Structures are given as C-alpha cells and as structure tokens.
Amino acid sequence: MSRADTATDIASASLREQAAALAATKISSVELVQEQLRRIDTQAQLGAFLHVAAEPALAQARAADAARAGGDNRALLGLPIAHKDVFVTRGMPSTAGSKMLAGYLSPFDATVVQRLGACGMVTLGKTNMDEFAMGSSNENSAYGAVRNPWDHAAIPGGSSGGSAAAVAARLVAAATGTDTGGSIRQPAAMCGVTGIKPTYGLCSRYGMIAFASSLDQAGPIAQTAWDCAALLQQMAGFDSADATSVQREIPRYAEALDAPLPGADAARPLAGLRLGLPREWFADGLAGEVEQAVRAALAELERLGATLLDIGLPRTELAIPAYYIVAPAEASSNLARFDGVRYGHRAENYRDLAEMYAASRAEGFGPEVKRRILMGAYVLSHGYYDAYYLQAQKIRRLIADDFLAAFQQCDLIAGPVSPTVAWNLGEKADPLANYLADIYTLPASLAGLPGMSIPVGFGQGAHASRPVGLQLIGPHFGEQRLLHAAHQFQRATDWHARAPQP
C-alpha cells in the first residue's frame, strides 16, 4: 500500500487508531493533515467549516513530526482537531457563527483550545454553528446552514452541528463542541458520532463566547468513547480564570475503559451496572423508529450484563419552559456587551449613541438571537422577574432533585437523545417546534449533570440513512462510568464505525 493510500485509510480512522499509526510511523502528521485538508476542501458543500487554517496546521504538523522524531511520545501529538467557532482562537477568526463578530481576531486562546494545543494537537480550523450557540439545527448560522453528511437534505443538529458533521464525514477525527441544552449530544446523535457533555464546571469556560453562563459546558465530539475519554482527559481541570471551574482531581478516563466492572468478567463486562429508563422518555412523542433503535441498544447493554430498571423523572415536561426562561435571561445579559462600541459590528449610519446601539445590534444579530434576547429581557424586567425567572429557577431545582432521587435507584440513566431523527432543512420554521426537540437533553443540562450520546442505529423507510443516538446520563462527576459503559457497548457493536459516503 502506498503512503497516499495509507493516509486515506488512516484519515478515516478513529483518534485512537490515528495515534497508533503515528506512533508506528505508518504515516506522518504532515501527511495526515494534508489528507484531512483535502477532504475539507472536497466536501465544502457540507458547510461544516467556517475557517480552515491550512498553513498554520501544516506548520504545527511539521513541529509535531520533529518532536516525535526527537522522542516525544505524547498520545495526542500531531493529531488533527477542529474547534467549534464559539471558542476564541489566537490568529484565526472567532465569530460564534454571527455577523456581529465578523472578522474578530482574539488576542488569546480559550483554555480548552490552549490545553489541547499544549498536548500537541494540530488545529485544522473552526467549525460552523448556530449563532451564539442558539439553536438545535445549525440553520441559525449567519454563514449558512450545515448539511448532515448522511443525508444532505437533513439538518446535522445543533448548535455544534459543524463539529458533529465534520467528524461524521471523516473530515477530522475529533472536534470540540459546547452543550448548553443538548448542543453536543443532539448533533452527535443525528450525525452518528459520539459526544459527551461533562459535569458543569469540569471544563473551563474561559474563552468560550458565552450564551447562558450557568449552563454552557465544553466537551468533545469524536468517533468513539475512547476518543472522547482521551480528549476529556486533556480538556478537564481547574482553571483560575473561570469562576465556575471546579477544583478536583481528574481521573485518567481512557486507561480503565477496557477493564470489566468490579465483579464482572469479559463476557459480561457491565454486570452490576443498573440502568434507569425514565418512563416519561418512552411515552407519546417519541418516534417509533427512534424507540426501536434505542430499545435494541438497551437489549445489547443488558446482554453485556447491565440491569434495566423502570424509573421516573416526573418533571421532564417542565424542562422546556424552565430552560427557555433561564437560558434567554442569561443570554440577554451576556449579549448586552455587543453594542458596537468596544468590539463587534458597528452600523455605518446613525445619528446618536442610542441609535448606534440599536442599529448595530439589529444588523449584527440574527432572528433567533434577537428572539432570545427579547424573551430574556422580558422575564428579567421589573414586575416579571418573580413571576417567570424566579419560578423557573425553582423548577430547575426540582428537576435536579428528580435526578438525585433516580440515582438512588440506578447508576446511570439511559434513553433517547431526540424524539425524532434529523429533520429536513427548513422543515421546522416554527421556533417552538425546534425547542420541543430538546425535551430529553434539557433536564440533565438544567441539573448540571454529565451526559453523552452514542450511535445505536438508523431510522426506517425514508429515514433509513439518518442516525439514532442513545443518551446516557450519570451523576455529577460520573464521566468515568458513562465512558466505560459506552466503550463496552462500542466494543460489542459497530455503529460508531459506520461512515457516510462522501
């Protein structure tokens, strides 16, 4: 096999396999990066990337190859990665998918970007996203929608749709994302890849362009649970620059993934694991094709030794109204800084300061961002704060209590990620229809819990090419157990290894 053929094969491989190929000198980082850049160029119609940093990436790859030749054996050295455009990056544009930040160049890297760069990863560029991470379809980007690699007529999910689409299309083996109400898990499910939202506070938010500060959390998207574990190991950890960062020891997530649970064996590596199935998640509103794929995955987990238990999360239906009060309220506050004065878009025509503010924000923000700013300003306004925002925070506490009660009965919670497979671009013009699609992901976000999505099958009939994901949710700082269960499932199945045709 020629070096070019080797590069083609390895560029489609998982992060773990790419690392092994680099360590065995089957391929160089430069060759791998060149192949990934070629793919990004030939599949530009997906709209997955907003900026491609070809020359800087090749320079980083050359430096990685030189370091490896000198004896540096760091596991992620020389491996390509892409970053969601919500993370600021020095030397390349950071727009958050908005015209408000068109052309903005940050003087520093976000902590997540800096940490992955410090372990030798090569940044290919920035991925497309819903504007300021507000959306579930990636149709709200000011720079055009992203298409699902499995079916170009379909959405990829959002807001991290560019990252999920890039990984699914094998443009890159891994990418960063952020999850405010499901924005890693939902696009991972709809694109047939693996993604994890860590416990709130585990990964630094410093340098992440804020949407809702009490909800936003960074996480990885990749082909496998092992890949996500290796990335999370580098991304997680205390950061004094982030006031919400949690100071605790970070486990070595990837090292224990292949070992059975205590008391289990190789044939039943999940023996002793209790999986709770919320009855509210398997009721009316869940598409039959999604339920069938999820049930088949649960049967496989049961075969691997897990015990399935019926549990209740009775306030699930309150997650949508609570989230769409809390998140817009925080967004209206966070986005107040984009006023055309300090940075961001400034209108050309205005008569006074007030008109400049209004014109700049009207021109710079898209419809969904404006809608949420208005909603947020309303619920925080005098006379409505107690009636809406305060009540939503009380409901948020009750939703968290439901999870605490559930984890007295089970170790992890399992169910669907989304009520349906990916829908067609332009199909859900009504914003409320988009909001309802987050019903299964919002509760864990409101409670600050870790959750992940793993691919478990496809839809049926006209949707036979559209992936379905299984959601796993753990207690606070339960990432290790989540990743272990997902990894054992992926050792026994091959859904994660399937890729769409270019």
Single out the catalytic residue among 98, 137, 159, 418. Answer: 159
Q: How far apart are CA 470 and CA 453, in angstroms?
A: 5
Q: How many CB atoms lie within 10 A of CB 429?
A: 8
Single out the catalytic residue among 28, 29, 84, 453. Answer: 84
240 is catalytic: no
The secondary structure of 275-331 as a DSSP string is: EEEEGGGGSTTS-HHHHHHHHHHHHHHHHTT-EEEEE--TTGGGHHHHHHHHHHHHH
Question: Buried (b) or exposed (e) across 116-135, using 16+ Cβ within 10 A?
Answer: bbebbbbbbbbbbbbbbbbb
159 is catalytic: yes
| Strand-pair partners of 307 | 274
Q: How far apart are CA 60 and CA 57, in angstroms?
A: 5
Question: Buried (b) or exposed (e) across 447-464, using 16+ Cβ within 10 A?
Answer: bbbbbbbbbbbbbbeebe
Strands 451-458, 274-278: pairing kind = unpaired
Contacts of 60 (CB under 8 A, 6+ apart): 33, 122, 123
Q: How far apart are CA 489 and CA 470, in angstroms?
A: 11
Q: How far apart are CA 499 and CA 502, in angstroms?
A: 9
Residue 185: closest CA among 121, 228, 131: 228
98 is catalytic: no
Residue 193: closest CA among 489, 467, 459: 467
Single out the catalytic residue among 28, 94, 160, 183. Answer: 183
Taking CA 123 as the corner, what is the angle to CA 25 and CA 112, rounded to the nearest 5 degrees?
A: 115
What's the order of all strands across the beta sheet hosting 307-311?
49-52, 122-127, 80-84, 174-179, 217-222, 194-197, 451-458, 467-473, 412-416, 274-278, 307-311
Q: How far apart are CA 105 and CA 91, in angstroms?
A: 6
* Residues involved in catalysis: 84, 159, 183
